[in-house]
Amino acid sequence: MESVTNKVIRRECGAVTTFIGTVREFTKGRRTLYLEYVAYKTMAEKQLEKIGTEVGEKWPGTYVAITHRIGTLQISDLAVVVAVSTPHRKAAYEANEYIMERIKQIVPIWKKEFWEDGESWIGDQLEKIAYVNGEPGKEMRI
């Protein structure tokens, strides 16, 4: 987390915001055992760069660093870290929130949640796509 935040600290910026997404134990009343993230890595990297470009256009003078883990994560593990620095705090908060929303919208990273009583692929992108054979990457628009 600190290494991500350190990437955006600049002399000309007076505000740094860091968002940390962790694995929570309960989701909608169900106890989570662990999560598994998978990604289309090369496209995910391109989309993260695109988000950085969008932020630079919307909030000039902004510095951004993003990391998102893939693989199996346990309860309380860090899943995503987004750090933003801007000259003033309002833009830092706005840009950080914008980044998280865009990650959920366009970055091909999928999450499978494992509960005590089952498992399921979940997330914003999944509300728009049905997966053939229950796996990301073999999608069919609904």
Which tens digit of pLDDT belongs to each residue from 2-32? Answer: 899 999 999 999 999 999 999 999 988 999 9
Confidence of residue 138 (pLDDT cuts 50, 70, 90): very low
Residues 15, 92: Cα–Cα separation, whole Å: 6
Give the mean pLDDT of 99-106.
Answer: 96
* C-beta separation of 15 from 89 below 8 A: yes
Q: Hey, what are 96's tokens?
A: 């950080």
CA-nearest of 23, 14, 10, 19 to 83 is 19
Residues 73, 96: Cα–Cα separation, whole Å: 23
- Distances from the Cα of 7 to the Cα of 2, 27, 58, 64, 81, angstroms: 9, 32, 20, 8, 12
Provide the H-helix boundaries in the chain. Answer: 2-6, 41-58, 89-106
Percentage of the chain lying above the pLDDT 90 cut:
82
Give the mean pLDDT of 65-84.
Answer: 97
Beta bridge partners of residue 39, listed in sequence order? 109
> Which sequence spans correspond to the domains of the chain?
2-141
Mean pLDDT, all residues of the chain: 89
**CATH T-level assignment (fold) for domain 2-141:** Aldehyde Oxidoreductase; domain 3 (3.90.1170)
